Amino acid sequence: MVEATEQVLLLKPGTFMNLSGRAVRQTLDFYKVNVSDVLVICDDIALPLGKLRVRAKGSHGGQNGLRNIQEQLGTPEYARLRIGIDSPGEFMDAAEYVLSRFKPGEKPVVTDAVAVAAQSVLLWVRSGIDVCMNRVNGETKVEKPKKEKPAKKQEKPNETDSQPLKPED
């Protein structure tokens, strides 16, 4: 893909996430890409659902995919875009949680987060990591998924009723 004057390569490793560093390393070697030109996108159980966080570098934070990438690259000096998937809580195994499907009420938040993440990648390509961090990390609003309620049956107003219907909260 070409964005403006930059050639962009999107890599989705076919390995398990905790072994994705090998695919990243091989791709960098084959295409002769500098680590400074890498943006890794991953999930993060330490962030609320739908929250995005961009960093220029840092630790793996216990995320096994990032740990393996860091081992394979030999440095934590690569950019990353984390997408919050929320915590599994104390009663669910983290590995089981990250591999599970989103609940129906979470899907709109996830869909929005992925769309914003895609725009964030384009911003990173066009303007660099500092501008991307300032814009993405500066966003503070994250909508919590709304609990699904059964639809209320709305009664039709009498023709003599002059009050408009109020939207339900």
Partners of residue 39 on adjacent β-strands: 79
Q: What pTM, to 2 d.p., does this model score?
A: 0.76
Average pLDDT across the chain, whole number: 82
The whole-angstrom separation of Cα 160 and Cα 144 is 40
The structural domains of the chain, ordered by start, are 2-138 (3.40.50.1470)
The answer to whether residue 13 scores a pLDDT higher than 90 is no
pLDDT at 2: 63
pLDDT digits (tens, 9 = 90+) for 155-167: 444 444 433 333 3
For the segment 49-54, the average pLDDT, to the nearest whole number, is 95
Residue among 139, 143, 52 nearest 106 (CA): 143
pLDDT band at 169 (very low <50, low <70, confident <90, very high): very low
Amino acid identity for residue 82 in this structure: R
pLDDT at 162: 37
Q: 86 in the Ramachandran plot: left (φ > 0), alpha (ψ -120 to 50) or beta? A: left
Partners of residue 41 on adjacent β-strands: 81
